[in-house]
Chain A
């Protein structure tokens, strides 16, 4: 059986200086160890500390090469970087799993996902998502779940996610209750999330009859007499949001109401 010669193509990423993409192809046999070592040394000399090894064209990975990759990863980690894999097919992934390599290396489906992960974890770039929905209370539970699931997927803990969920629920419920009831008057939910904090912004078209009462309710310096009394069943939403969050601002104009809440990641 003939082996396919290994090729390594080095690709730099202009927008992320510390990152390099290494496109491997062919059979990574034990004879390739030296070349791989030299390649990583060259990458290190260029100041690249985060290597994404694209294995989409790789047909074999020997245990010697895997060992070499572990050594290279160790060197990169010492420089606060990492070596991650992407583009592995199912068969190759299963083999790596059987060798226990999946416990050491992080494996991504494609280059883009690996790059996104770098931007998220190392560059700590925020990501933004947006939902516009009609003012129906029934839509709020799926929405709170959506934000909570995304927070969990992005590495936030269960407690943080639940608190985020509660905040989204409260603000969206308020927007539905106090906004215009027509289906065309959509409510905008914008979430900006990064590894350290989440910012939630909800905008709705204000019901003209309620603007005055809403503005009064949102005044920051409420006296004790204005606070909800123990026997009153409603009106604790904003107090709850303030308690769970690390910053809240409300803008109430004729055009609409915008509630912005910041929650710092705790765990």
Chain B
């Protein structure tokens, strides 16, 4: 493989140079809450090495935390349940897809209601909204797909903040 030089004239490998965007990093971890702090930090650091700001990375971390917590708490039923987190990083945005094996019918109904009530602008909820309110506030798009086998897939798109102004958390 051809080597190149850095600004000091030292030889470096092409892989050392800037990350070529877009790229994907997939993480698959057991349905256990123990893993979530490490996974959210990983996503944050991944974004920072991809030249996103620490603020953007931190807010993305919150999204990952919320969705993965829901996936573990409500979407893992069997012993070998796993969560899949797909991170697709673009120049101007990150797209997360979080997949779990799906919860009980009751939990799925609750998830659908939480997604629906937010998108229709309804504010009142009798049960907690699974943290989706903050996810919606921090992201550009939030979609949930539940297939016929109850496999649940949450897709979140978050764009660079400096291109669209700050997100206000007060409202």
Contacts and interface: CB of A to CB of B under 8 A. Distances in A.
Interface of A: 15, 109-110, 112-113, 116, 119, 127-139, 141-143, 145-146, 149-150, 153-154, 176-177, 181, 183, 186, 207, 209-210
Contacts of A15: 79
Given A15-B79, A142-B42, A143-B42, A131 B32 contact: no
B28 A181 contact: no
A129 B34 contact: no
Contact of A132 (B19, B26, B38, B41): B26
A212 B72 CA distance: 45
Contacts of B34: 113, 116, 150, 153-154
A133 B41 contact: no
A181 B26 contact: no
Interface in B1-52: 1, 13-16, 19-20, 23-35, 37-39, 41-42, 45-46, 49-50
Contacts of B31: 112
Contacts of A135: 15
A264 to B, nearest CB: 21
Contacts of A130: 26-29
A146 B32 contact: no
B36 to A, nearest CB: 9
A139 B25 contact: yes
B107 interface: no
A150 B34 CA distance: 8
B154 to A, nearest CB: 19
Interface of B: 1, 13-16, 19-20, 23-35, 37-39, 41-42, 45-46, 49-50, 72-73, 76, 79
A131 B33 contact: no
A134 B29 CA distance: 18
14 contacts: A112-B32, A113-B32, A127-B32, A129-B27, A136-B20, A136-B23, A138-B49, A139-B19, A139-B46, A153-B34, A176-B13, A176-B15, A177-B15, A181-B15
B1 A207 contact: yes
Contacts of A143: 42
Given A112-B32, A134-B25, A176-B15, 18 more contacts: A109-B73, A110-B73, A112-B73, A116-B32, A129-B29, A131-B26, A131-B27, A132-B25, A133-B25, A134-B24, A139-B19, A142-B42, A145-B45, A146-B42, A149-B38, A153-B37, A186-B24, A209-B1
Contact of A183 (B23, B45, B50): B23
A146 B26 contact: no
Given A137-B16, A207-B1, A129 B45 contact: no
A146 B41 contact: yes
- Enumerate the 10 nearest inter-chain pairs by beta-carbon distance, A residue then B residue, closest first: A142-B45, A149-B38, A146-B42, A129-B29, A130-B28, A138-B49, A134-B23, A133-B25, A150-B38, A132-B26
B25 A141 contact: no
Contacts of A186: 24, 26
Nearest to A134: B23
